[in-house]
Amino acid sequence: MNNKKMGVHILLDLLGCPGEKLKDVETVKEICFKTAEDAGLSTLKSTFHQFKPHGATGTVLLAESHMHVHTWPEHKSVAADVFCCFLNEGNIPKAKEKAEKACESLIRNFQPEEVFKDVKIR
């Protein structure tokens, strides 16, 4: 079995977010693209879905890997994950920096009252 680490994976639970930011897929999409830009990540492709009556989910495929965001306006919560691959062993600090910057941007843009964050090197 290969035990080589491949990247940095951060899971976020954002609680107590303003509900208006979570209802509309266009707002969620805007936040995701802003997050990728803020973190210096390269967007390849994306897909988003608007739930009825409200809430959104989205995936952004990145050259560095991916970002997923799921919103529940009725609970004022967002679940997100960001994965940045290393590309090579020398890029571990760079991958971690980009993943952390993406999380900082998601937190800044969704404005939660509470943040739960789980960081793993995988």
Using pLDDT thresholds of 50, 70 and 90, give the confidence band for residue 90: low
Using pLDDT thresholds of 50, 70 and 90, give the confidence band for residue 5: confident
Residue 73 is predicted with a pLDDT of 96
Q: Would you say residue 1 has pLDDT above 60? A: no
> Any idea which residues carry the catalytic annotation?
65, 70, 85
Q: What is the mean pLDDT of residues 5-28?
A: 93
The dotted CATH code for 7-121 is 3.60.90.10
Q: Of 33, 31, 17, which Cα lies nearest the Cα of 114?
A: 17
Chain segment 50-88, per-residue pLDDT in tens:
999 999 999 999 998 999 999 999 999 999 999 998 766
Residue 89 is predicted with a pLDDT of 62
End-to-end CA gap in the chain: 14
- What are the residue boundaries of the structural domains of the chain, listed by start? 7-121
pTM as predicted: 0.93
Q: Of 43, 41, 16, 37, which Cα lies nearest the Cα of 110?
A: 16
